[in-house]
Amino acid sequence: MHLRVYRYNPETDAQPRMQDYTVALDARGKMVLDALLAIKEQDDSLAFRRSCREGVCGSDGLNINGVNALACITPLEGLRQPIEIRPLPRLPVIRDLVVDLSQFYRHYRAVKPYLINLEPEPERERLQSPAERTELDGLYECILCACCTTDCPSFWWNPERFLGPAALLQAYRFITDSRDQATEERLDFLEDPYRLFRCHGIMNCVEVCPKGLNPTAAIGKIKHLLVKRAL
């Protein structure tokens, strides 16, 4: 099995390069992460992140044959060889496949991804009806792997100013939460030509999301609420 992996160590390399590897691995039932671990055994200088190896932690978001995906749940079978593995696009590379996600987390923090409710805390918990709880389905499952945001052309062109699909999905997750009281402030924050309106409905985010979520739909719902509020 042939792989071509992006290698770059900013401390010693003037330029990034692609390095070819051959690993003896039966592809059946194996994932891209298995191939990376096999490479690591022959060349321990290769750096990449991984943790849960079952698509839950979101650590190993990578660009695999040009498409962002989690290495641990992307089957090797059916991938064109050599399999090209690069870091997530448009973020600074720390080393090899490890990127600096600071910008991604700044956008996440900016949407205040927590419940804002100024009422006195109840004895036990803030209750929701089953219908109100259902509103959060398709939103709360995001694992912040950054696959969507780094595959979004609008993020590529304005990474500092456009919040990106992951942060906007989370913004809508708290806007639509029946227990949250800061909807107006959240909408105020988003009503901006850059933060929200750089989204042109390209839908790369929907295509690559490893959890099958739909940030474009969430962004559409935010726009709908903005229109409802304005008119």
Closest to 4 (Cα-Cα) out of 21, 28, 26 = 21
Tokens describing residue 177: 């939460």
194, 226 contact by CB (below 8 A)? no
**Is residue 201 within the footprint of another protein (CB under 8 A)?**
no
Residues that bind another protein (rule: CB under 8 A) add up to a total of 23
Number of alpha carbons in the 13 Å side-chain half-sphere of residue 197: 9
Min CB(144)–another protein separation in Å:
22
Closer to another protein by Cβ: residue 131 or 230: 230
72, 53 contact by CB (below 8 A)? yes
- C-alpha 197/C-alpha 210 separation (Å) is 24
Considering only residues 120, 122, 193, 201, which one is a binding residue for another protein as defined by CB under 8 A? 193
Report the site for another protein in 123-142 (rule: CB under 8 A): none
Interface mask toward another protein for 146-185; x: CB under 8 A: --------x--xx-----------------------x--x
Residue 151 CA, chain-centre distance (Å), reads 9
Considering only residues 195, 204, 210, 215, which one is a binding residue for another protein as defined by CB under 8 A? 195
**Is residue 18 within the footprint of another protein (CB under 8 A)?**
no
- Amino acid of residue 106: R
Give the residues lining the site for another protein (CB under 8 A). 116, 118, 154, 157-158, 182, 185, 188-198, 200, 223, 226-227, 230
